[in-house]
Amino acid sequence: MTLHPVDSPAAWHVSEIENDDRWIFRLDDAQRRQMAEAVKAAYVADKELFDYQGADFDLGPGMGVIAAAAQEAKTGRGLAVLKGLPRDEVTEDEFRIMNWAIGLHLGVARPQGIKSQYMSQVRAVGHTYRAANGRGYNSNASLDFHTDGCDIVTLACYNKAKSGGQSMVSSSLTAWNTLLAERPDLAEAARTPFYFSRNTEEAPDEGPYYSQPLFDEAEGHMFGKWNRNRVRTAQEIAGVPPLTQAQVECTDLLDDILRRPNVMYTMWLEPGDLQFMNNHVMLHSRTTFEDYEEEERKRLLYRLWLATPDSLRLPDSWGGYFRSVEPGTVRGGIRGHQYDDACFAFESRQAAALGMPAPERERFIPMGLAS
């Protein structure tokens, strides 16, 4: 396949993001008030996430603003921030449910880890990021640039850290264009199979690792994937081929490009901010942070992984992780060790509500991608 640069609004440089704020959306006071009232009316203490439905929440005109932000992430810059979610007007648990409600209107939530959880609290609980089973979102460490395992990820800020914890975002499309311009030989290496560890979170029908290139195309669209930590730990798994010298050089240059001042955009997420990122064209990271001593003030964000009804077809090489590469399907996520009938029933019900095909219960793998 001929290598070529990508022309896309998501292939931005920092100056473009700084000089054009159309990727930032805001709720007004009336929209915020109606959203808070809707959440309070629907919230029931101890009610399970799966027992809520999108129809339970009349989020009002504010949902239109939220949908526009999501669309910007899907078809525009690949990044959007919504400001003004009701934060002080609701309790911490109501804030959590509000973000679940937003997800119910936008897509099908995906499981995110070994416990098959569908919403994650991003907070420091003492995990070691570099461990073979480590997860960065439960540590206070500075993170490598990476993608999450879904079409769209949302991060809703409830508390910010005492210091640090800035969000960093770089366009994988800009990184691809830069890599191709500077080292076309290494761009070629980026299109070869890399092996990623599942960090002991694999479902019963999955192996401990999977393979895919860092960049690939489908129907005229470029897709990016990178997670150094998962590639590093995969090298410790029996049966995984060693990285070639070209692949090592490729990943080193890629990480260098992603942190260049004209590529890496840094922002603070304030309480009440909701960040949207398209994982197929954005990579993200975070600086190390120091927390408050008081539990109620510690850094806390709520994360959703979403499969959306209008998603693009993925490259066939993405199937080993995403299971389905077809557009608008329930795909991606980490099924983990506790995926059960209740999980499948929720996904099926939510897909039907959004007009999406019923999810596949059994593993789907395109031919030749069984590893």
Written as one letter, the residue type at 52 is Y
Tell me the C-alpha distance between 220 and 322, whole Å.
19
Determine the pLDDT at residue 171. 99
Tens digit of each residue's pLDDT (9 = 90 or more) over 65-92: 999 999 999 999 999 999 999 999 999 9
Name beta bridge partners: 307. 108
Tens digit of each residue's pLDDT (9 = 90 or more) over 205-232: 999 999 999 999 999 999 999 999 999 9
* Residue count of the chain: 371
Query: Quick one: which H or E segment has residue 186?
Result: helix 184-190
* 288: confidence class by pLDDT, cuts 50, 70, 90: confident
Query: Quick one: which H or E segment has residue 99?
Result: helix 92-106
Question: Taking the C-alpha atoms of 121, 139, 284 and 259 in order, what is their torsion angle to the nearest 10 degrees?
Answer: 160
Domain boundaries, the chain: 19-353
Q: What are phi and psi of 133, to 5 degrees?
A: -115, 20
Tell me the C-alpha distance between 309 and 256, whole Å.
35
Determine the pLDDT at residue 293. 77
Determine the pLDDT at residue 82. 99
Determine the pLDDT at residue 67. 99
CATH architecture group of domain 19-353: 4-Layer Sandwich (3.60)
* 371: confidence class by pLDDT, cuts 50, 70, 90: very low
CA dist 237 to 168, 233, 242, Å?
Answer: 30, 7, 10
Task: Count CA within 13 A, CB hemisphere, residue 57.
Answer: 25
Count other C-beta atoms under 10 Å from residue 9's C-beta.
15
Strand blocks (E) in the chain:
24-26, 79-83, 108-109, 120-122, 152-159, 163-164, 167-171, 194-197, 209-212, 215-218, 221-224, 264-267, 274-278, 282-286, 289-290, 300-307
Determine the pLDDT at residue 25. 99
